[in-house]
Amino acid sequence: MFDMVPVARAYLSLMRDVSDDWKTIIDHWSELEKQYRKEEHNPSGCAPKTYRMLKRLKEGNYA
């Protein structure tokens, strides 16, 4: 989305107030985006490492 609508990135921080989960996601956005970029052209259409990162964040494992 941010590739197609770059101005939307300026509003990403607003999501921090939606929930604790979103706050954590936004706080780790650059890491998540970097990992996703490595997987975005996966022929399967899946991004398993990005998914695992999100799952760890949800579980409170930020390491």
- pLDDT tens figures, 11-51: 899 999 999 999 999 999 999 999 999 999 999 999 999 99
Tell me how far CA of residue 42 lies from CA of 3, 16, 45, 52, in angstroms. Answer: 18, 29, 5, 16
Which ranges in the chain belong to alpha helices (H)? 20-27, 29-39, 48-58
pLDDT of res. 6: 84
Residue bearing tokens 């930020």: 62
**CB-based contact 40:47 (threshold 8 Å):** yes
